[in-house]
Amino acid sequence: MSQNQPTPDTARHTPASMDGNPTIDERANHCFGCGPANPQGLHLTFTTDTSNPEAITTTCHFQLDRMHEGPPGHIHGGIVATLLDEAMSKLNRPLNVIAMTRHMEIDYLRPAPLYKPLVLIGRHLNRPTRADGTLDRKIFHQAEIRTPEGTVLARSKGLFIVIDPKLLAAAGFTAPED
């Protein structure tokens, strides 16, 4: 990219709140799934239940419109995948890690309707421990989209990889650790 070209974020009208050195949470404000600063985003809002550290859950009540249509009257399969990925990714924050999706499986069980209230639920499954007693970088989660009555429309399992905090600090995303 030449020096006269704007950076991609500048060309896309990054909000003024991103000027300077924003925190990683401020950078997430433009997340397609949950970012309030993304005008085309889903604007999902999650509640997290950490009352049982072995069974952390995230929940989001949502309703999508024709902008997210795939088959007539139903949510596009790619948006369904995004919803499930977002629910699982929200489980990383209470684990005090930043992790990225490495692998995700989806079972599309029933068409997800537009214009109907739906529920998105993420569940932490486990994070293995290495032979030396340290936590592995792999984290396993699952998620479901349900009707308010409890019918499961789609289900996923995901493998997330914890990003080394030193790499995040070197890239300027977080403060260096002492």
Alpha-helical regions (H) of the chain: 8-11, 24-27, 77-89, 165-170
- CATH of residue 51's domain is 3.10.129.10
Is the Cβ–Cβ distance between 153 and 145 less than 8 Å? yes
In a domain, residue 175? The reply is no
What region, left, alpha or beta, does residue 73 occupy, with left being phi > 0 and alpha being psi -120 to 50 degrees? left
In a domain, 81, yes or no: yes
**Is beta strand 57-62 parallel, antiparallel or unpaired with respect to 152-162?**
unpaired
Any domain includes 2:
no
Give domain status of residue 104, yes or no: yes
Residue 24 lies in a domain: no
53 C-beta neighbours (distance < 10 Å), count: 9
Sheet of strand 118-126, all strands in order from the earlier edge strand to the far edge: 47-49, 57-62, 118-126, 138-146, 152-162, 99-108
Query: What pLDDT, on the 0 to 100 scale, is given for residue 22?
Result: 56
Q: What is the pTM of this model?
A: 0.82
Range of the domain at 120: 46-170
What's the domain count of the chain?
1
Residue 33, in any domain of the structure: no
In a domain, 94, yes or no: yes
Give 10-residue mean pLDDT values along the chain (178 residues): 46 48 60 82 90 92 93 96 96 90 98 97 95 94 98 98 84 64
